[in-house]
Amino acid sequence: MAPKISLFVSVFFFYFVSLHADTLQTYIVQLHPHGLATSLFTSKLHWHLSFIEQTISSDEDPSSRLLYSYHSAMEGFAAELSQSELEYLQTFPGVIAIRPDRSFQLQTTYSYKFLGQNQPTSGGAWYSSHFGYGAIIGVLDTGVWPESPSFDDQGMPPVPKKWRGICQEGENFNASNCNKKLIGARFFARGHRVASKSSSRNFIQQYVSPRDSQGHGTHTASTAAGASVPMASVFGNGAGVARGMAPGAHVAVYKVCWFSGCYSSDILAAMDVAIIDGVDVLSLSLGGFPLPLFDDSIAIGSFRAMEQGISVVCAAGNNGPLQNSVANEAPWIATVGASTLDRSFPATVRMGDGGLLYGESMYPGNQLSNLQKELELVYVTSGDDRESEFCLRGSLPKEKVRGKLVVCDRGINGRAEKGEVVKEAGGAAMILANTVINLEEDSVDVHVLPATAIGFAEAVRLKAYINNTKRAKAQIIFGGTVTGRSEAPAVAQFSARGPSLYCPTILKPDVIAPGVNIIAAWPQNLGPSSLPEDSRRVNFTVMSGTSMACPHVSGIAALIHSAHPKWTPAAIKSALMTTADTNDHFGKPIMDRNKPAGVFAIGAGHINPERAINPGLIYDITPDEYITHLCTLGYTKSEILAITHRNLSCQEILRMNRGFSLNYPSISVIFKNGKTIKMTRRRLTNVGSPNSIYTLEVMAPKGVQVRVKPQRLIFKKINQSLNYKIWFISMNRSPGKDQMSFAHGHLTWVHSGNNSFYRVRSPISVTWK
């Protein structure tokens, strides 16, 4: 994995990437913001080149090593560097840190209705924000397919005057591909090219331009701000009007992801120019495993973006349900987990003994719902290597599977790829069986042959039937599209979980949003399964992941920005969090598999755009307060400089801010070393009604007493701020050595009157160490 990229105007980063894959590597070098007088050079580019010139041999052109020169998100550059050159550069005065390039992975119609945005009613999110008109969402991903109807600009307002971006030309892409919807497009491939020099993978054809070769970026961009497209479907499945969360917002695409991954140097370069271009929201459906903030390029870059008033929304990652797996943990980032919709695509297996197994699939659509006949079942086992069970390429003997319904275990290779393997071996249909790792996760695919996916419990029943029946048979019955019957939202099993590994005093993820079986725009160079063998072509397809959840929140953040253009990123995130739902559409608690979801799975809850547009109260945070928070956590001066680009003394900051608490919308309390009392402070700002009184509701975490003063907040005017204090008294004994225990609750401020009603809810997480 390559390091995440940072954006900072005052910190200096140097990326050094290799000319010779065996000796050179890409590095980020961060310098003290005031380490050298740049006035000695005619430009910052020349200043950056001077560092390379002093590091490499005299007969080599320093510009041949340079990848990027950064100016906005941070001060520095990317370039190629050998180990000895790296060690020499580390001795230069003013060098704060040097980091290797890292690779991040992508975290992969109806959802706007599910979120209550069906009609632009008075006071609703669409009405209040005029569909997000004027807002600009920057999407860092795999690029865009500009001809998609989701990027049609009919009815769009003019390009905002503040926009300074471009439509970068390249392979099969020119300036005319941009319009009033897709107002900008760029691509960043230098880090990818250097990293790919040593790759043993076969070369895959991809567009050297902003044009999308993979589909992921087209899908996420249209989810955030796609135009309304009537009669959208995937072969008849999920039919309806497709539109993004902010259909009136503008989109700027920054292609940073390639088939080999998404590299820090490219991500940082994109963030660098996006800040200058004038985006209002940055959407990054990228991630990996958690990193310390001072070593996390996305965290560093996002701090600089936040300082410029840009909301940064990131995927929480797909490493759930593992504890501590949540990525993009920085408190100034909105971190989004994934949830389910109440829409399903039933494809039931009827076994020869009459038993029914519930499954889901998007093949073949409604038109062939009852044409799949009963077939002989086969589950090919091959001993210790288990390749046949997983239907890996070349593992299925044609004589065993020809004309049969083949069972494939999930894992190792892609779900849709297994169907292609079965098809090439002569199989007639497939049942994709979840294992103990996936349990009941129900992500669907647009398979290349008749197929369905079943959960782990159903897979156990199916295999028992096969093992106990001489000639097992089964039939797949396709049921089209069903909405409104399932309990939703629920937490997606793959959605990464807290608590935050490196920032446990901040509850992450912040919220969850639809991320399972999301239908959105798709390019015309790929079939809906993404497989190169798939010759079918569609305008829309289905994908799952926190990658899909992230742009939902990015779009809603754009709506809030459009309705409240002076709000800070922290205010926008507060509105998203304090209005989030903790119950599903049946009024029952949101579930995480077979139990009510905890705060480490849902954070503040499931996004509710209709309430977020008018939250009543907000918890605002200034950039300086984030820095004070880092000081309270014991970050060193050099670490804070690396993160914030500010050279400050924590000793002085803490002396001036005794008893400081970060004004975060959620509350995380940690009892350790035998302490039993904790006090924290919060500050609420009235953005609702003047002359309003808020009263307190508290559900204390188990084993904790909670006391709040005052218990009423009386706001006389708009934008007035009031403080309150919370004391947490532990009634539990500390757990044993090297053990931890958790509890959660919530604190809610309620206002009812003057034709307005607000519930401003903060989840509470308590940890005993």
Q: Which residues are catalytic?
A: 141, 216, 547
Instruction: Give me 73's structure tokens.
Output: 């998100």
Element (H, E) at 601: helix 599-602
| 522 and 148 Cβ atoms separated by less than 8 Å | yes
How many beta carbons lie within 10 A of that of residue 579, not counting itself? 25
Exposed/middle/buried for residue 113 (C-beta within 10 Å: 0-12, 13-18, 19+) = middle
* Strands 136-141 vs 281-284: parallel, antiparallel or unpaired: parallel
Element (H, E) at 679: strand 677-686
Distance CA 623, CA 646 (A): 11
CA angle, residues 86, 91, 93, in degrees to nearest 5: 125
Instruction: Give me 134's structure tokens.
Output: 């004027």
CB-side exposure of 520: number of CA atoms within 13 Å? Answer: 36
How many beta carbons lie within 10 A of that of residue 658, not counting itself? 6
Distance CA 76, CA 69 (A): 6
Pick the closest to residue 303 from 283, 333, 272 (CA basis): 333
Distance CA 524, CA 439 (A): 34
Beta strands per DSSP E along 4-155: 12-14, 24-31, 66-70, 75-82, 95-100, 103-106, 136-141
The span from the first CA to the last CA of the chain, in angstroms, equals 31
Distance CA 700, CA 707 (A): 9
Q: What is the dihedral of CA 581, 583, 584, 587, to 10 degrees?
A: -130
Write the single-letter amino acid at 624.
Answer: D
Distance CA 703, CA 732 (A): 5
Pick the closest to residue 419 from 382, 379, 392 (CA basis): 392
Write the single-letter amino acid at 618.
Answer: I
Distance CA 555, CA 542 (A): 19
* Strands 250-255 vs 75-82: parallel, antiparallel or unpaired: unpaired
Question: Helix, strand, coil proportions of the chain in percent (round to 5)?
Answer: 25, 30, 50
Distance CA 67, CA 2 (A): 16
DSSP state of 440: T
Residue indicated by tokens 């002076």: 566
Residue indicated by tokens 């071996």: 425
Distance CA 245, CA 72 (A): 29
Q: Which spans in 57-210 are helix H? A: 83-89, 111-114, 125-129, 190-196
Distance CA 34, CA 15 (A): 19
Distance CA 473, CA 404 (A): 9
Pick the closest to residue 152 from 244, 49, 57 (CA basis): 244
| Residues in CB range of 733: below 8 A, 6 or more apart | none
| 99 and 86 Cβ atoms separated by less than 8 Å | no
CA angle, residues 656, 661, 666, in degrees to nearest 5: 160
- Reduced to 3 states (helix: H, G, I; strand: E, B; else coil), residue 535 is coil
* Strands 429-433 vs 405-409: parallel, antiparallel or unpaired: parallel
- Reduced to 3 states (helix: H, G, I; strand: E, B; else coil), residue 159 is coil
Distance CA 380, CA 628 (A): 60
